[in-house]
Amino acid sequence: MLETSLSMSRARAEINTEPGAVGPSAVPLTLRINGTVRTVAVAPHTTLAEVLRGPLDLTGTKIGCDRGACSACTVWLDGLPVASCMTLAIDVGERSVTTIEGLSDGDRLHPVQAAFIEHDAVQCGFCTSGMVMSCAALLARNPHPTLDDVKAATGGHLCRCGTYPHVFAATLAAAKTGRG
């Protein structure tokens, strides 16, 4: 019985020291953010949103609900919109992250950003970066969306100010002019 107990203890010790196990203290991460490789040291439980806003000082990504319900924290992971508050930074790996700061081309706004301004789709601004990221991703995969397509792309977004009609108009305008 004692021998079995010792064998189980050794087995557990081996499991806990397997390669790939990290934490609980900070671990170094190399992330590709907006085309630039950045290195940070964070605890394994840190979300991508927390890393972006904290050590990387990319505060355009907002944390609203911190549970994936409002989509204010939407960024692209290899071109696909994701809730960065629900994505562990340690799980990003080699994938490319694009934030609202990386959507523009220098001082030239992305067409969806410009359309949001033209169509007054910005009020308090808290949801705006997430909305822009989802709408720009929609136009990247579907340059001629319908109103229903835009509604589906923004379906998980919560806008407290109710600017949805302006968001829809801005996205459709960006698509119509071929700027998306």
One-letter-per-residue 3-state SS of 51-108: HHHCCCCCCCCCCCCCCCCCCCCEEEECCEEEEHHHCEHHHCCCCEEECHHHHCECCE
* pLDDT tens for each residue of 7-37: 444 444 444 445 567 778 899 999 999 999 9
d(CA 77, CA 89): 11
Looking at residues 70-85, what average pLDDT do you find?
Answer: 97
**pLDDT-wise least confident of 35-39, 121-125, 132-136:** 121-125
d(CA 18, CA 166): 52
Is residue 102 pLDDT above 70, yes or no? yes
Is residue 171 within 8 Å of 139, Cβ to Cβ?
A: yes
- Could you give the count of Cα atoms lying within 13 Å of 142 in the half-sphere of its Cβ? 15
Q: Is 150 helix (H, G, I), strand (E, B) or coil?
A: helix
